[in-house]
Structure 1
Amino acid sequence: MLTPEISALVGKSISYTAPEPVGKASIRYFAMAIGDANPLYTDEEYARRHGYSGVIAPPTWVCETNQYAGLAMDADGYAGHLWKIEVPNTRLVRGGNDYHFHQAIVESDVITATWVIDSITERTNSKGLKMMTMFSTATYTNQKNELLATNTESLIWSEIPR
């Protein structure tokens, strides 16, 4: 499962820079989609009274790279970042995310996301099936190269029983 070609991906990185600033509409729609009515996300005057230059984005907004990566949709309709590692006879699941938010994202920010593959390991589970786990970290910065957030993500390829 963990081939030399896949092992060689450790350290690989890829960056995406948004083609335009975040924008109020994107922030508002995302806040609505997650059901968060915090006025910091929709009311410019309220946000200014609380020390921001304008509305800010909900923290996890930045982690949805499909909003600004400019990638084509795949067969499942997904347009965000994927490593496109094909492992035959496996099922891919997201193992989890560890988010750290450093600074609010404002409507005028232009986001760059840089992903790096940190590690890839293989093991055998309790049922005797192979599993491969990859950890990667995304670092999100704005146009001033200020750190906005980091996201360490795990992906798990699990062997399908035959």
Structure 2
Amino acid sequence: MFREHIGKKSKKVKNTVERGAVKKFAESIGDLHPIYFDEETGRNSRYKQNIAPTTFSRVFDYGTIEGLSLPNKGLIHGEQTYHFERPLLVGEEIYCYTQVTDYFEKSGTQGDMGFLILESFGEDLSGKVIFSTKSTVIITEAVRKVLIGI
């Protein structure tokens, strides 16, 4: 059911690293470093402007992979890794998309589970990758049964 989606990707979606959103995000995670919102600190930094916290990339829109439908509940967030070439700069536009890179199943004490591997990317305006993330979505046996209609 998910194997046929391996290799599929969403269309690129333009996102903006908006100053107000960065400040609210930094406040929500309890990281009040002035590099995120104080303009003077940003100008005096090695980046010459404010940057966003690394995990700010979670708020971006990565588009929809056509035909891939996951339930809104009953999934388990298994693992997530981030790789950044450089920080996200406040004010810049980022093009984001997601790709299904793998799907496999395992049997365990809680029944059969599916593991959907998704990779997401953020590129600058020239198409150069700024960051990538890799996440594992665990699909429990109960959810799999609902999805396949058992």
Distance across 1 between alignment mates of 2:6 and 2:80: 18
Is it true that 1:60 corresponds to 2:42 in the alignment? no
One-letter code of the match for 2:36?
A: Y
- Give the Cα separation in 2 of the matches to 1:108 and 1:144: 16
Distance 1:30 1:91 in 2: 26
Segments ≥4 residues shifted beyond 4 Å: 68-71
**Shift, 1:112, TM fit:** 1.3
Alignment partners' CA distance in 2, 1:93 and 1:133: 10
1:85 equivalenced with 2:70 (yes/no): yes
Identity %: 22
Q: Aligned with 2:99: secondary structure?
A: strand
User: As a proportion of its length, which structure holds more helix?
Assistant: 2
CA shift, 1:84, in A, is 2.1
Q: Which residue of 2 aligns with 1:107?
A: 90
Match of 2:14 in 1: 18
Q: CA deviation at 1:126?
A: 2.9
SS at match of 1:8: helix
Mapped pair 1:153 → 2:107: no
Residues of 2 paired with 1:116 and 1:135: CA distance? 9
Structure 2 gaps of 5+ residues are 144-150
For residue 39 of structure 1, the aligned residue among 34, 41, 66 is 34
Q: Is 2:62–2:97's contact at 8 Å kept on the other side of the alignment?
A: no
Contact 1:103 1:147 in 2 (8 A): no
TM-score in terms of structure 1 length: 0.76
Does residue 8 in structure 1 map to residue 33 in structure 2? no
Q: Write the letter of the residue equivalent to 2:22.
A: I
Matches within 5 A, 1:132-147: 132-147=114-129
State the 1:70 CA deviation.
8.0
Which residue is equivalent to 2:23?
28
State the secondary structure of the residue aligned to 1:55: coil
User: In the comparison of the two structures, how many residue pairs are matched?
Assistant: 140
Q: Supply the distance in 2 between the matched residues of 1:16 and 1:104 (Cα, whole angstroms).
A: 20
Query: Any conservation in 2 of the 1:91–1:159 contact (CA below 8 Å)?
Result: no
State TM-score, norm by structure 2: 0.82
Output the CA distance in 2 between the equivalents of 1:151 and 1:139: 7
Counterpart of 2:70, as a letter, is: I
* Higher deviation after alignment, 45-54 or 111-120: 45-54
Q: CA RMSD in A?
A: 2.4
